[in-house]
Amino acid sequence: MRTHTILIVLAIGVIFGLFAGYYAGRWQRVGTLPDLVRPATARPATRSAGVPRDFISIAKEAESGVCHIATTAPVPEEVRIWRRFFGEPDLERVPYNYGSGFFFSKDGMILTNFHVVQGADTIRVGLTEKQEYPARLVGYDPLLDVAVLKAEGGPPNFRPLPLGDSDRLEKGEWVVAVGKPFGLEKTVTAGIVSAKGRQFEEVGGRMSITSYIQTDAAINPGNSGGPLLNLRGEVIGINTFILGRGGNIGIGFAIPINEVKRVLDRMVKGGRVSRAYLGVEVRDARSPEARQAGVTASSGAFVVGLAVGGPAQQAGVQLADVIVKVNETPIRDDRHLREIILRQTPGATVRLEVIRQGRPISLTVRLGSR
């Protein structure tokens, strides 16, 4: 009996020892986990001059240069009559639109989208809800959809955001959007450059004259006019529109800041920016329409329409011509021709090289204005 009891005790001891050893080993392994997965701060790294800053510092610096924009518009007279008929208080103006913008000079000059302020009779800009100032429209380019405002009042020196170089932007590069979507001021979102050079025939009911930066940084109603920043904190685009209805689905578009720079001085000087006008309707020279007309050119813009009395017609351009050069610039297609002409100064003289029935012809055109 005693021998049987001793064996039971020994067996229990062995089993207990096995379990104790197992759990001790397990806890020891868990204890070494921090040595295998180190936090980012465990071993500080020195930052080289070319390494971009983090999102936190970019957001802090950008917030002081980004403003929200609110506009009002006159109440239509028929609405005012209707309100008076039903005994409702008369209104002279109502909230009209809201969006975002950013300062690009210390004296209160602001860049935004033209559609944010188009049709407004009063404009207010603000760094916060409690820091709002009246503003006026200085200049605008309705085709590019950009405008310059001037804040009236406020601090003696605003903090401008630096303008970058959108031509250096790379697909896949990190970008940051700042604005006031749905009235939520100083909202910061991040994403990447999904694509460059996106083109559309029209945007928001107006002819599109530029290509766009595509990003998956969240852009929503109210972000229009706000900056798209690179990781150096430079503005490389103006957030303009999204695909989809109601809100962000990861496909937003910004006007490249280099396109804005080309007309910035003209907007600052005041008034509407006029664009050069050729007076042709064109298609890609490789389009089925051109091929049916016997065009064999591998590039260029095929003329399918002429404005009566327009600059092109007056210079001798004819239907079915293929425009292959403007000055010394070879024309890739119809979109490229439009971009090249729009970058010219209204009233400037340009030389067109066209192919007519297989023969090259040189024409001189004095561009119009629109």
Note whether 65-151 and 166-272 share their fold.
yes
Quickly list DSSP for 190-208: EEEEEEEEE--SEETTEE-
pTM of the predicted model, to two decimals?
0.76
pLDDT, one tens digit per residue, over 162-211 is: 999 999 999 999 999 999 999 898 899 999 999 999 988 778 777 778 88
Both tokens assigned to 354: 């066209």
pLDDT, one tens digit per residue, over 132-149 is: 999 999 999 999 999 999
Binned at pLDDT 50, 70 and 90, residue 97 comes out as very high
For the chain, what percent of residues have pLDDT higher than 90?
A: 61
Q: How many CB atoms are closer than 10 A to CB 280?
A: 26
Q: How far apart are CA 130 and CA 162, in angstroms?
A: 25
Residue ranges per structural domain of the chain: 65-151, 166-272, 276-369
pLDDT given at position 279: 94
Both tokens assigned to 19: 């379990």
**276-369 CATH fold:** Pdz3 Domain (2.30.42)
**65-151 CATH fold:** Thrombin, subunit H (2.40.10)
Q: Which residues are catalytic?
A: 115, 145, 224
pLDDT, one tens digit per residue, over 282-292 is: 999 999 999 99
Contact 109, 126 (CB under 8 A): no
Contact 72, 195 (CB under 8 A): no
Binned at pLDDT 50, 70 and 90, residue 7 comes out as very low
Task: With CA atoms as reference, report the closest residue to 324 among 339, 314, 334.
Answer: 334
Task: With CA atoms as reference, report the closest residue to 72 among 97, 101, 91.
Answer: 97
Both tokens assigned to 359: 């023969």
Quickly list DSSP for 204-247: TTEE--S-EEEE-S---TT-TT-EEE-TTS-EEEEEEEESSSSS
pLDDT given at position 47: 42
Q: What is the DSSP letter of 167?
A: G
Q: How far apart are CA 65 and CA 59, in angstroms?
A: 10
Both tokens assigned to 276: 């050069």
CATH class, domain 166-272, is: mainly beta
pLDDT given at position 314: 96
- Please, what is the average pLDDT of the chain? 84
325 CB-near residues (< 8 Å, 6+ apart): 331, 351, 352, 353
Residue of 268 and 54 predicted with greater confidence: 268
